[in-house]
A = this chain, B = another copy of it.
Amino acid sequence: MVSEQPKQSSQYAKGKAMEYDLEFEQPLRDLAKEIHIMQQECGKLENPTRMQEAKEELHTLQQEIYANLTTWQTVQVARHKERPRATDYIHRIFENFLELHGDRSFGDDPALIGGMATFNNETVIILGHQKGYGAKDQQYRNFGMPHPEGYRKAYRLMQMAGKFHFPLICLIDTPGAFPGLGDEERGQAEAIASNLALMARLPVPIIAVVIGEGGSGGALGISVADRLLMLAHSVYTVAAPEAAASILWRDNAFAPQAAEAMRISASEVFATGIVDDLVPEPVGGAHRNPVLAASHLQIALEEHLSSLKKYPPEQLVEKRYQKFRNIGCFENSR
């Protein structure tokens, strides 16, 4: 847990050329290559119309593909190594972010960060899974898989939110809580469970946003909220597709099938009514335009927060209770 300074934004944000690096982007890759060859071969504008057409075709194709992503393709986008991290949104949407550290009893977990910030002249507490940028930082952040200390830091900051009437914003982006021996020893389950109970009764507005991967209990541990939002190409799942596949298909190579079967993409989850709102992403995914992605999220947060502020605390908490109380599909067999 060295306190090293990570890079603060993704590479694309730093102006690196976009690449089509996902498998299903093959058609886009081909077309982009064609355009590239065209540009090189005929340095001076030999056939500007054809070039223009190709570029428009690329744009249209990209729009089409991204409007019709399969569940597994969505998983790939949600896990994209250049997808904006919690800090990308925090620094773009909020002012004065002051990170606070530590669970006050064992450690500080860089996989789950938190702090105070200003949002529209109001003080908020932010929590977020942080996957990190680049190999070294990602390892430092344990790839966004928190230890119990992360959830206990979150617990402490949630209590702070409740005590000082700060609204709570949670950014979800984790493959899951870390399943290590030390995590069993230090009560990963207890830490998550305590957060669920605390968030259920916290007398301040809570908005949770799945910005990438919403992995199982590790995601839920900071997302019992008045409003649950999902970015358009994010996923939220009861179990990692690989884990589900290895149990139900007895082979984790069936992860794509498991993802489809569990219906984990944002639009599929939205259809269940469990998610309150979808936040649009730039064409081709948030990583192609983090600024625009943040701007979409900002608008959504403003809207939902101002609507939540209408309710006095008791009413807010009771509405939150009813929201979760009513989730479930079952029938009476008599």
Binary contact track A151-186/B, C-beta < 8 Å → 1, others 0: 010000000000000000000000000000000011
Q: Does chain B have a CB within 8 A of A146?
A: no
CB atoms of B105 and A148 under 8 A apart: yes
A152 to B103, alpha carbons, bound, how many Å?
A: 13
Closest CB in chain B relative to A146 CB, distance in Å:
14
Contacts of A104 in B (CB 8 A): 187, 190
Q: Does chain B have a CB within 8 A of A258?
A: no
Contacts of A190 in B (CB 8 A): 104-105
Q: Does chain B have a CB within 8 A of A249?
A: no
A186 to B185, alpha carbons, bound, how many Å?
A: 15
Closest CB in chain B relative to A200 CB, distance in Å:
17
Closest CB in chain B relative to A102 CB, distance in Å:
9
Q: Does chain B have a CB within 8 A of A324?
A: no
Contacts of A191 in B (CB 8 A): 105
Contacts of A185 in B (CB 8 A): 106
Binary contact track A182-199/B, C-beta < 8 Å → 1, others 0: 000111001100000000
Contacts of A187 in B (CB 8 A): 104-106
A104 to B189, alpha carbons, bound, how many Å?
A: 10
Closest to A187 in B: B105
A186 to B152, alpha carbons, bound, how many Å?
A: 14
Closest to A106 in B: B186
Contacts of A105 in B (CB 8 A): 105-106, 148, 152, 186-187, 190-191
Closest to A152 in B: B105
Closest CB in chain B relative to A295 CB, distance in Å:
40
A118 to B186, alpha carbons, bound, how many Å?
A: 32
Closest to A149 in B: B105
Closest to A185 in B: B106
A187 to B105, alpha carbons, bound, how many Å?
A: 5
A253 to B186, alpha carbons, bound, how many Å?
A: 42
In A137-153, which residues have CB < 8 Å from any B CB? 148, 152
Closest CB in chain B relative to A307 CB, distance in Å:
34
Closest CB in chain B relative to A185 CB, distance in Å:
8
Closest CB in chain B relative to A160 CB, distance in Å:
15
Interface centre among A105, A106, A185, A186 (most CB of B within 10 A): A105
- Would you list the 7 A-B pairs with minimal beta carbon distance, nearest first? A105-B187, A104-B190, A106-B186, A105-B186, A104-B187, A105-B190, A105-B105
Q: 6 A-B Cβ contacts within 8 A?
A: A105-B148, A105-B186, A105-B190, A106-B106, A106-B185, A106-B186
If A105-B105, A105-B186, A105-B190 are given as contacts, then 9 extra A-B residue pairs at C-beta distance below 8 Å, sorted by A number, are: A104-B187, A104-B190, A105-B148, A105-B152, A105-B187, A105-B191, A106-B106, A106-B186, A106-B187
